[in-house]
């Protein structure tokens, strides 16, 4: 099917039906093009350039003339968009859409607060959370891999990480869901959650706990230049960046394992392969199709061609992770492969995923325990999937 479709569409047609149905074949065509491929977003009319070779994506992710704050580099920038709501203002202060020096300053703070020790401390909590989910699944006999196994994990873990008290967990779950939904629900949730965090930060200031919010508040007390909006935006980003990605890791991973019974058997025979399985899942079917778009700050040469100044560049992590130049038989799911470690599913360079250690820990525990506790897991029906840019599973019916 893959070979057949590869001849059916053009590499500049990211929005075509054929590309929508087979992202991997589409990016194979982009790689073959051997130059940056221009696309036009049919909704906005915006032009942008796609790169999908591993070497080009890798270079693009750390290119000094590619970044987010393009207006700083334009001699005559268009008027700045007016940020009408608090939610928009907070969004614009997130680490993920900033360049140095602000990115460096904020990343320094979060690196101080979100350490390997912080992540290791969450291990027992994650194990208990996943044991509970799997016990429920065993009792019920059937389970949805997205709603019942995917969703509860990251929200619970991020609540533990930040230090959300038990009595506020339900409200926190509501805000978490709304904050990834976009539109009006997102704006309302963002503002309510910001007000809630102000109160909680005041409590932590008076009575610090062993949690991330207290660690960030301590930096403020010590006089570091981390203002209120930056602190709130940071916590909101953890919630947004860490939520759907982790759900996808779990759901895509279950699907890949159950669709490749030999690999599922390998994991069941030796659950200590779970960490390697997580890397292969992220390489083979990672949660992030395209890294957040970057602008060229000047005309650049990249990926075998020239890209003019102030244009948008889309670096396809999905394409890079199936590049046959780097991965042997890239379309084969193989949890024992030695080259999985070269994947760029967590990005690369200064924006490399801050939550990678946590995502790996959650994934490792989930797949280890699935192999040990639900060895008869099987697909009950074809999964429901949103297709298009950033396809994701919306339902994964399973029998236990
Ligand atoms: C950045 C992927 C889980 C927090 C990124 C980037 C990618 C990524 C590709 C780079 C974006 C860029 O280059 O602009 C993933 C995947 C995950 C995952 C595949 C799960 C399998 C998490 C979790 C958290 C998190 C659990 C937090 C709890 C962040 C943050 C950034 C980021 C804060 C921005 C870093 C910066 O701009 O310096 N992630 N992520 N991610 N991720 Fe993750």
Q: What pLDDT shows up at residue 3?
A: 36
Q: What pLDDT shows up at residue 240?
A: 87
Using alpha carbons, select from 110, 396, 355 the residue that is nearest to residue 240: 355
* Probe residue for ligand 1, chosen from 59, 159, 241 as the CB with the greatest number of ligand atoms within 8 Å: 241
Q: What pLDDT shows up at residue 383?
A: 84
Q: What pLDDT shows up at residue 387?
A: 66
Atom of ligand 1 nearest to the CA of 317: 9
Quote the ligand 1 centre to 3 CA distance (angstroms): 32
Quote the ligand 1 centre to 255 CA distance (angstroms): 22
**pTM listed for this prediction:** 0.94
Cis check: omega of the bond before 101, within 30 degrees of 0: yes
Quote the ligand 1 centre to 313 CA distance (angstroms): 19
Report the DSSP beta bridge partners of residue 316. 290
Q: What ipTM goes with this model?
A: 0.99
C-beta of residue 194 within 8 angstroms of C-beta of residue 237: no
Q: Cα angle vertex 340, ends 327, 264, to 5°?
A: 110
φ, ψ for residue 92, nearest 5 deg: -70, -10
Chain mean position to CA 113: 20
Residue with tokens 């007000």: 195
* Probe residue for ligand 1, chosen from 321, 346, 393 as the CB with the greatest number of ligand atoms within 8 Å: 346
Residue with tokens 């709304």: 178
Quote the ligand 1 centre to 288 CA distance (angstroms): 9
* Domain boundaries defined on the chain: 64-72+82-132+145-243+321-349
Atom of ligand 1 nearest to the CA of 286: 19
C-beta of residue 281 within 8 angstroms of C-beta of residue 252: yes
Atom of ligand 1 nearest to the CA of 363: 21
Q: What pLDDT shows up at residue 1?
A: 29
Atom of ligand 1 nearest to the CA of 157: 28
3-state class (DSSP) for residue 295: strand
The string of pLDDT tens digits covering residues 73-111 is 888 888 777 777 888 888 888 999 999 999 999 999 999
For residue 112, the surrounding DSSP H or E stretch is helix 102-113
Q: What pLDDT shows up at residue 97?
A: 92
Ranges under pLDDT 50 in the chain:
1-7
The string of pLDDT tens digits covering residues 252-271 is 999 999 999 999 999 999 99
Class of domain 64-72+82-132+145-243+321-349: mainly alpha
Atom of ligand 1 nearest to the CA of 154: 26
């Amino acid at each position: 099917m893959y070979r057949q479709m590869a001849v059916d569409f053009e590499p500049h047609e990211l929005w075509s039906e054929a590309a929508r149905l087979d992202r991997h074949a589409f990016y194979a065509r982009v790689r073959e093009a051997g130059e940056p491929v221009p696309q036009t977003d049919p909704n906005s009319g915006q032009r942008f350039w796609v790169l999908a070779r591993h070497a080009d994506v890798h270079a693009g992710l750390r290119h000094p003339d590619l970044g987010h704050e393009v207006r700083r580099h334009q001699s005559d920038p268009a008027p700045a968009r007016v940020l009408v709501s608090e939610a928009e203002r907070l969004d614009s202060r997130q680490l993920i859409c900033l360049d140095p020096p602000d990115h460096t300053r904020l990343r320094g703070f979060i690196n101080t607060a979100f350490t390997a020790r912080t992540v290791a401390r969450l291990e027992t909590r994650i194990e208990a959370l996943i044991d509970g989910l799997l016990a429920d699944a065993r009792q019920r006999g059937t389970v949805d891999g997205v709603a019942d196994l995917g969703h509860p994990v990251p929200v619970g873990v991020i609540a533990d990480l930040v230090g959300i008290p038990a009595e506020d967990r339900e409200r926190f779950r509501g805000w978490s869901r709304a904050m990834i939904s976009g539109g009006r629900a997102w704006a309302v949730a963002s503002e309510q959650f910001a007000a809630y965090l102000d109160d909680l930060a005041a409590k932590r200031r008076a009575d610090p706990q062993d949690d991330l919010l207290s660690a960030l508040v301590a930096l403020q007390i010590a006089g570091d230049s981390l203002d209120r909006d930056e602190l709130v935006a940071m916590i909101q980003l953890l919630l947004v960046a860490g939520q759907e990605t982790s759900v996808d890791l779990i759901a895509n991973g279950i699907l890949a394992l159950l669709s490749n019974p030999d690999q599922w058997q390998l994991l069941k025979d030796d659950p200590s392969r779970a960490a390697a399985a997580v890397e292969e899942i992220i390489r083979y079917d990672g949660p992030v199709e395209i890294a957040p778009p970057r602008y060229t700050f000047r005309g650049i040469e990249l990926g075998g061609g020239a890209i003019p100044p102030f244009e948008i560049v889309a670096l396809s992590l999905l394409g890079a992770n199936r590049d046959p130049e780097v991965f042997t038989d890239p379309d084969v799911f193989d949890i024992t492969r030695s080259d999985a470690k070269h994947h760029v599913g967590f990005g690369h360079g200064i924006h490399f995923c801050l939550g990678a250690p946590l995502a790996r820990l959650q994934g490792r525990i989930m797949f280890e325990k699935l192999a040990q506790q639900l060895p008869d897991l099987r697909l009950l029906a074809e999964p429901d999937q949103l297709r298009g840019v950033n396809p994701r599973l919306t339902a994964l019916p399973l029998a236990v």
